[in-house]
Structure 1
Amino acid sequence: MQTSLSEQARALPRADEAESILRACVHCGFCNATCPTYQLLGNELDGPRGRIYLIKQVLEGAPVTDKTQAHLDRCLSCRNCETTCPSGVRYHSLLDIGRAEVERRAPRPAAQRLLRGALRRVVPEPHRFGPLLGAGRLLRPMLPPSLREKIPAAAPPAAGARPAPRHTRRVLMLEGCVQPALSPNTNAAAARVLDRLGISVVPAERAGCCGATEYHLNAQDDGLARARRNIDAWWPAVAAGAEAIVLTASGCGAFVKEYGHLLRHDPAYAEKAERISALARDLVEVIDREPLDALHKSESRRVAVHCPCTLQHAQKLGGAIESLMMRFGFELTPVADSHLCCGSAGTYSITEPMLARQLRDNKLDALEAGQPDVIVTANIGCQAHLNGAGRTPVRHWIELVDRLLGA
């Protein structure tokens, strides 16, 4: 695609990257065939091809309107289009660049600024999110259904204690921001399974939110500041020989694996960020590489696997959970259109509730078609969003494996 960036756009820090991505797009339209929002709305500007054209116009100096912003906001950042694209267009990077420029040039209404500001200040902070979630659970019976489904019922407590580090092989694990409150058993279960495989989880207390929430709400500097703090927190253990940084939430994994790219121009962090991204592993990558024959047990439960977009499209690990669950003897039910997003997409279910609900219900219809006993996923956002419908229970897959091995 030919481009002619404005002088103002050429002064942006990522102007060359934006121009390179725009020129890679040939506007073939294959992306629209797998775009969840295009499938629902049928509007060219609510598909990747249309959004790329909108961003091109913005970077070439065209006026920015609230409609431009709305079309970009409605993108889930699911990256399904990248899996489909025959030209290898890095759409998500262009979207980040375009959204930041639109945000700068088109101030949002006060209500949107308030909502997004609250999300940035609450979601990444466990000391705020946890107490607010607890208060919401107390008030949940009195709330209207549209709000009630956003507040999950109390999660079951951790099924056992975390083992103390005792093995030569050691990994770090990101605790996450909302997962400790929403699903406290997930990381504990992961630590127990890894311990059975001879791998100890070393705590890194100063590591917090991965930064994705702020970054994707256009507070990109704040998101990168969190990335730097995590790098500082992890670095001593990395220098001491930790073999991996394990992520139990695929959304966090997708973002941590981008640290190297996002901080490549930071002279103080570029090299360390690249090393951290190289060490980042989704939990399924770590366990799948281990000898599991001695741990194999048959399991009669019927399971439907929801593979999050951040796992299959961002990390290119589609099918990994399914393969691992079958190795452990679970019976998997068929899931149609498994490539489509469930509508969670970080904070999308809050900022775009109507579209998110449609996508969630469509996803649950597909997941429940084979009548599974339980649905498993690999991302806390998807887990909470799908559970909000109050239908088939949704758990992190590691919890089923942990219970199976502990039986």
Structure 2
Amino acid sequence: MQTHFTPEQLQDPGLARANQILRACVHCGFCTATCPTYQVLGDELDSPRGRIYLIKEMLESGRPADARTVRHIDRCLSCLACMTTCPSGVHYMHLIDQARAYVEATYRRPWHDRLLRWILAKIIPHPTRFRLALLAAKLARPFAPLIPDVRLRAMLAMAPDTLPPVSRNDDPQTFPARGETRMRVALMTGCAQKALNTDINDATIRLLRRLGCEVVIPQGMGCCGALTHHMGRTDEAQASAQANVAAFMAEVQGKGLDAIVINTSGCGTTVKDYGHMLGGEDAARVAGLALDVSELLTRIGLPEGTPKGLRVAYHAACSLQHGQQVKSAPKDLLKRVGFTVVEPADSHLCCGSAGTYNLLQPEISTALKVRKVQTLEAKAPDVIAAGNIGCMMQIGSGTGVPVLHTVELLDWALGGPRPRALGET
């Protein structure tokens, strides 16, 4: 794609990076075939190619973002399926992030949009606040039909019927390995996950310890920054990222770390990009140590299990299969320990969760959820497995099939307790 940034504009590192990405695009349109919003809406401007044109014009002109451009940028899920599809290697993730930051800096949203985004940014990254908000939402749910704003109704619907007990395993501490210590790893415990499902981290810690890992929960670690980053709130996102880099580097420079283990794939995609987000050697070091839990388990190696007689439909989270290009590891691990694994049709398409997307764009999100649930249920599974808490909540709200994290099933298969989501035997 031909661009026309001025030499003065290209002195800005963000615009220079955007120019590099834009010039890689050859207009082929392959991305439209795998873009979920284009599949639902059929609008070229709601495809990666269409958004690239809008972003190019906005950034080149230097004008403030307008409502039309913002509408189409806001509709992007950041599922990154386009990056998997693109034959030219267009790094759409960095481009859409740059566009969102530009929108945040130059466009004044209606007051109710600003308020909603402020609430989300100030609550969800903080587990205690989020837990209290979920309790309040549960109490307010009976009044949902009286609320005119579909996004507020979506927020109330998000609250689960019951919240898990607070787990002290998420507090800063060190869990020794069972038996011989093979490696020392830090576990990123997430933020929303700590409020919505404490079983995931508990299962991860149990499994890693049995496999010879000393597991560290670092002091000072918090939200990865993905939620605010995808809303264009750059300062808040970078503050979260910098706090995590400091927390992880304290362990690296202390007793050392062999890996930073992440069991929420949305967080993993962001942490692996810390080198770009922040720059500097420490951020790059942390990014280089980050591994999805399935990557680490593949590296360690799991014992082969006997058939479990359980049919597992595997949902590939976009942030894992597209953002991190981790595709076969979770399925291979489940098969190795004895589960029968099936995959839905169109497994490359997003379920519609995408961080806060299901709250900010509930109509599109719901259409994608319905499609995803139908393809999963068509496989007649006993259980659905995924590697991201957002996907688990999204899919779980549309099906009666139990939805578990992949690591919960692996832990159970290798000696851990039966997952609570499966109920009593």
Q: Same fold (TM over 0.5)?
A: yes
C-alpha distance 159-375 of structure 1, shift in aligned 2 (>3 A): farther
**1:201 is matched with which residue: 192, 209, 215?**
215
Does 2:162 correspond to 1:154?
yes
Matching residue of 1:354: 363
Alpha-carbon contact 1:173-1:203 (below 8 Å) kept: yes
SS state at 1:289 partner: helix
Quick one: distance in 1 between partners of 2:97 and 2:167?
39
**Root mean square deviation of aligned Cα:** 2.1
Q: Deviations over 1:108-157 (max 9, x none)?
A: 11111001111110011112112222333344455447555311222555
Quick one: distance in 2 between partners of 1:375 and 1:158?
25
Quick one: distance in 2 between partners of 1:53 and 1:387?
36
Q: 1:302 deviation in Å?
A: 1.0
Q: 1:327 deviation in Å?
A: 0.6
Identity, in percent, stands at 46
Q: Superposition pairs for residues 17-56 of structure 1, below 5 Å? A: 17-56=17-56
Alpha-carbon contact 1:191-1:200 (below 8 Å) kept: no
Alpha-carbon contact 2:46-2:75 (below 8 Å) kept: yes
Aligned length: 401
Q: 1:62 deviation in Å?
A: 6.8
Does 2:266 correspond to 1:290?
no
C-alpha distance 73-161 of structure 1, shift in aligned 2 (>3 A): closer
C-alpha distance 244-28 of structure 1, shift in aligned 2 (>3 A): same
Q: Superposition pairs for residues 197-236 of structure 1, below 5 Å? A: 197-236=211-250
Q: 1:160 deviation in Å?
A: 11
Matching residue of 2:122: 121
Q: 1:15 deviation in Å?
A: 1.3
Quick one: distance in 2 between partners of 1:231 and 1:326?
35
Matching residue of 1:253: 268
Quick one: distance in 2 between partners of 1:104 and 1:224?
15
Matching residue of 1:68: 69
Quick one: distance in 2 between partners of 1:8 and 1:55?
18
- Return 5+ residue gaps in structure 1 as ranges: 265-269
C-alpha distance 364-74 of structure 1, shift in aligned 2 (>3 A): same
Quick one: distance in 1 between partners of 2:105 and 2:143?
39
Aligned residue type for 1:343: G
SS state at 1:304 partner: strand
Q: Superposition pairs for residues 170-209 of structure 1, below 5 Å? A: 170-209=184-223
Matching residue of 1:4: 4
Matching residue of 2:149: none
**2:377 is matched with which residue: 364, 368, 373?**
368
Q: Deviations over 1:218-271 (max 9, x none)?
A: 10121011111111111121122211000010000000000011122xxxxx10
Alpha-carbon contact 1:78-1:345 (below 8 Å) kept: yes
Does 2:349 correspond to 1:340?
yes
Alpha-carbon contact 1:172-1:203 (below 8 Å) kept: yes
SS state at 1:172 partner: strand
Does 2:303 correspond to 1:303?
no
Aligned residue type for 1:227: A
Alpha-carbon contact 1:246-1:281 (below 8 Å) kept: yes
Q: Deviations over 1:135-184 (max 9, x none)?
A: 33344455447555311222555999799324532110111111011010
Q: Superposition pairs for residues 260-279 of structure 1, below 5 Å? A: 260-264=275-279, 270-279=280-289
Matching residue of 2:109: 108
SS state at 1:149 partner: helix
Aligned residue type for 2:247: A
Normalised by the length of structure 1, the TM-score is: 0.93
Q: 1:97 deviation in Å?
A: 1.1
C-alpha distance 330-158 of structure 1, shift in aligned 2 (>3 A): farther
C-alpha distance 382-9 of structure 1, shift in aligned 2 (>3 A): farther
Normalised by the length of structure 2, the TM-score is: 0.90
C-alpha distance 6-54 of structure 1, shift in aligned 2 (>3 A): farther
Alpha-carbon contact 2:266-2:320 (below 8 Å) kept: yes
Which stretch shows the higher mean deviation, 87-96 or 157-166?
157-166
Alpha-carbon contact 1:149-1:389 (below 8 Å) kept: no
Q: Which runs of 4+ in 1 moved over 6 A?
A: 158-163
Aligned residue type for 2:262: L
Alpha-carbon contact 2:81-2:322 (below 8 Å) kept: yes
Matching residue of 2:175: 164
Quick one: distance in 1 between partners of 2:114 and 2:156?
23
Matching residue of 1:267: none
Alpha-carbon contact 1:9-1:61 (below 8 Å) kept: no
**2:257 is matched with which residue: 208, 222, 242?**
242
Quick one: distance in 1 between partners of 2:14 and 2:246?
25
Q: Deviations over 1:44-86 (max 9, x none)?
A: 1000001000011001217532011000000000110000000
Alpha-carbon contact 1:35-1:80 (below 8 Å) kept: yes
Does 2:408 correspond to 1:394?
no
- Return 5+ residue gaps in structure 2 as ranges: 146-152, 418-425
Alpha-carbon contact 1:30-1:84 (below 8 Å) kept: yes
Q: 1:12 deviation in Å?
A: 3.7
Alpha-carbon contact 2:135-2:159 (below 8 Å) kept: no
Q: 1:284 deviation in Å?
A: 0.3
Alpha-carbon contact 1:284-1:321 (below 8 Å) kept: yes
Quick one: distance in 1 between partners of 2:107 and 2:241?
27
